[in-house]
Amino acid sequence: MADTLVELVEGCRLPVLRKNQENEDEWPLAEILSVKEVPGKKLYYVHYIDFNKRLDEWVTPDRLDMKKLQFPKKEAKTPTKNGLPGSRPSSPDRDVRKSLDLNLQSASAPSRGKTLPTPKRKAESVSLTSQGSAAPSVPSLPSSAEAPQASVFPAVVRESFSNKSREEHEQLTVANGTTRRLVPSQPGRKRKNCGTDEDSQDSLDGIPSAPRMTGSLVSDRSHDDIVTRMKNIDCIELGRHRLKPWYFSPYPQELTTLPILYLCEFCLKYLKSLKCLQRHLTKCNLRHPPGNEIYRKGTISFFEIDGRKNKTYSQNLCLLAKCFLDHKTLYYDTDPFLFYVMTEYDSKGFHIVGYFSKEKESTEDYNVACILTLPPYQRRGYGKLLIEFSYELSKVEGKTGTPEKPLSDLGLLSYRSYWSQTILEILMDLKSDNGERPQITINEISEITSVKKEDVISTLQYLNLINYYKGQYILTLSEDIVDGHERAMQKRHLRIDPKCLHFTPKDWSKRGKW
Ligand code: ACO
Ligand code: ZN
């Protein structure tokens, strides 16, 4: 319980009561990020130290364990222009990164050692064979998810393979044999009473109610800014859904005090009241995202939106997405990006489910900048469907691709799962000639799947498939792996059908300006 005699200030740490996933009480250590007075009591905005920032929340004093209160270290209090403390003893972002590192350590844990390939029912073994005589240990390969720096654009870190010459010769051999080549089987008049006039969303040149050009819009250091560290929108109504934002998004300041922000689910325009939304809907003719529908199968469609041609839509999409993306910097220059919006169709129209953005040109082989499944649709396979679609685009482009780093915790889970299933599908479909162990190279897996080589390698390591035996790297597919994969694939109902994709890649480098 909060002791009214002690003044809790920003930076204080203490255990705070919360419910865990099983709805049980727990008292994790939390840091107070902000304090506000509401009639009759104080409220504290807390960040749980070892938890993702999306769980940050306002809590009442009765949830604070004052007995274990730690005051902030003095030197950590750097005043900012608004008088709020600046840098802090610890940054939640740093904490997130730490847990990511841990994940990655386990992801790149050494393989089990020199275990013999043990062929079982469908069990296959692969070995990375250095064709020389030396028998190096399995190289410590960089996981593509390891890049430490956050930014949408430009992205900076490029991993290098620790042992290029050997890599060229590495081969995945699936139990006794010969090398086989595989064939790749997002205007109008001002309406003062609506606050968010339509012009403001069409032009962002300093119009008062335009989104703020500060904070996470312009600098990665925004993470140190107390304002951008707190969620500012309480609730968004989007079509038939009410969304609870996870993170700060730079919607116009005057909209942050509203209990509900209303969005047109088709053009994503933001409005301050239901009345304003209803008036907007009488004029808005869109029933699907702008741009071209480049994929349709069943009720699932994908629309390709040029960030330059449909700037307002793209910016509104970014504002919505930022509510659920913490580690990415939001830029108002959407020109260099394409947006692929996935929708689900019903008689009322094409409803947005999720999207990913993609740079028109990427020197880093990025095929996804930001990816999002809207919360009401999460954990139903749509994330992997978006990922699968991004790789189908790369296949048509004839390129390999990788998502921009760093990945969020949920992004990492989803990509790992996608990569694992994609690679295991390939390995298990390998047929042996003459009863000999089939072989495949990392390059071949990468070419067939369009998954960047580094991600193929990190996945093989994550799955702990790589063993070294008698001068050869062998991948052993244990019965557990095979069974687990088969069970997972049975549950994976949502798949992209490449035949339904109508996409012609453009050579953006030849267009001068996007
Ligand atoms: N807890 C545990 N596992 C999860 C969770 C969760 N909350 N959410 C997804 N997963 C796992 C699923 O179990 C699944 O793995 P499995 O099939 O092996 O069981 C895998 O992740 C993918 O699940 P999907 O249902 O296909 O993905 P979903 O539709 O939930 O979307 C996404 C995943 C896009 C990452 C979503 O969580 C999201 O939008 N998060 C917020 C934004 C974000 O973090 N985006 C990624 C940033 S990285 C980048 O932009 C490049
Ligand atoms: Zn609209």
Q: Is the CB of 382 under 6 A from ligand 1?
A: yes
Residue 248 forms part of a structural domain? yes
Enumerate the β-bridge partners of residue 169. none
CA of 300 to the centre of ligand 1 (A): 19
**At which of 370, 400, 430 does a domain end?**
400
Per residue in 389-400, pLDDT (tens digit) is 999 999 999 999
Q: Which of the residues 170, 304, 404, 454 is marked catalytic?
A: 404
What is the DSSP pairing of strand 402-403 with strand 466-469? Answer: unpaired
Atom of ligand 1 nearest to the CA of 325: 42
What is the DSSP pairing of strand 402-403 with strand 366-368? Answer: parallel
Q: CA-to-CA distance for 380 and 398, rounded, in angstroms? A: 29
Q: Is the CB of 261 under 6 A from ligand 1?
A: no
Of the candidates 158, 163, 162, 154, the one whose C-alpha atom is nearest the C-alpha of residue 146 is: 158
**At which of 378, 400, 422 does a domain end?**
400
CA of 52 to the centre of ligand 1 (A): 14
Ligand number nearest to the C-alpha of 283: 2
pTM of this structure:
0.75
CATH number at residue 56: 2.30.30.140
Ligand number nearest to the C-alpha of 312: 2
Query: Distances in Å between the alpha carbon of 207 and those of 214, 271, 442?
Result: 14, 16, 53
Query: Distances in Å between the alpha carbon of 43 and those of 27, 40, 112, 255, 339?
Result: 18, 10, 51, 21, 39
Of the candidates 155, 104, 200, 151, the one whose C-alpha atom is nearest the C-alpha of residue 325 is: 151
CB atoms within 10 A of CB 230: 18
Per residue in 334-384, pLDDT (tens digit) is 999 999 999 999 999 999 999 999 999 999 999 999 999 999 999 999 999
Of the candidates 280, 285, 282, the one whose C-alpha atom is nearest the C-alpha of residue 263 is: 280
CA of 304 to the centre of ligand 1 (A): 22
Q: Determine the pLDDT at residue 166.
A: 36
**At which of 26, 44, 68 does a domain end?**
68
Q: Quote the domain boundaries for residue 269.
A: 217-400
What is the DSSP pairing of strand 236-238 with strand 171-173? Answer: unpaired
Q: How many CA atoms lie within 13 A of 444 on its CB side?
A: 19
CA of 380 to the centre of ligand 1 (A): 9
Residue 333 forms part of a structural domain? yes
Residue 500 forms part of a structural domain? no
Best probe residue, ligand 1, of 300, 341, 378, 490 (max atoms within 8 Å of C-beta)? 378
Residue 448 forms part of a structural domain? no
Ligand number nearest to the C-alpha of 421: 1
Looking at residue 36, its amino acid is K
Per residue in 436-482, pLDDT (tens digit) is 778 898 999 999 999 999 999 999 999 999 888 888 888 888 899 99
Ligand number nearest to the C-alpha of 262: 2
Q: Is the CB of 401 under 6 A from ligand 1?
A: no
Best probe residue, ligand 1, of 325, 379, 421 (max atoms within 8 Å of C-beta)? 379
CA of 282 to the centre of ligand 2 (A): 9
Q: Determine the pLDDT at residue 412.
A: 96
Q: CA-to-CA distance for 24 and 389, rounded, in angstroms? A: 38
DSSP state of 64: B
Q: Which residues of the chain have pLDDT under 50?
A: 3, 76-124, 126-191, 197-200, 202-208, 212-223
Q: How many CA atoms lie within 13 A of 217 on its CB side?
A: 16
Q: Is the CB of 358 under 6 A from ligand 1?
A: no
Residue 461 forms part of a structural domain? no
CA of 174 to the centre of ligand 1 (A): 31
CA of 213 to the centre of ligand 2 (A): 23
Residue 21 forms part of a structural domain? yes
Q: Is the CB of 414 under 6 A from ligand 1?
A: yes
Helices marked H in 175-273: 198-202
Contact indicator for 298, 505 with CB cutoff of 8 Å: no
Q: Determine the pLDDT at residue 433.
A: 77
Calculate the CA 196 to chain-centre distance: 29
CATH number at residue 359: 3.40.630.30
Q: Is the CB of 405 under 6 A from ligand 1?
A: no
| 404 among known catalytic residues | yes
Per residue in 418-430, pLDDT (tens digit) is 999 999 999 999 8
For ligand 1, atom 18, which residue shows the shortest CA distance? 417
Q: Determine the pLDDT at residue 188.
A: 33
Residue 290 forms part of a structural domain? yes
Q: Determine the pLDDT at residue 150.
A: 27
Q: Is the CB of 373 under 6 A from ligand 1?
A: yes
Residue 267 forms part of a structural domain? yes
Q: CA-to-CA distance for 211 and 224, rounded, in angstroms? A: 20
Q: Determine the pLDDT at residue 133.
A: 31
Number of domains in the chain: 2
Atom of ligand 1 nearest to the CA of 382: 29
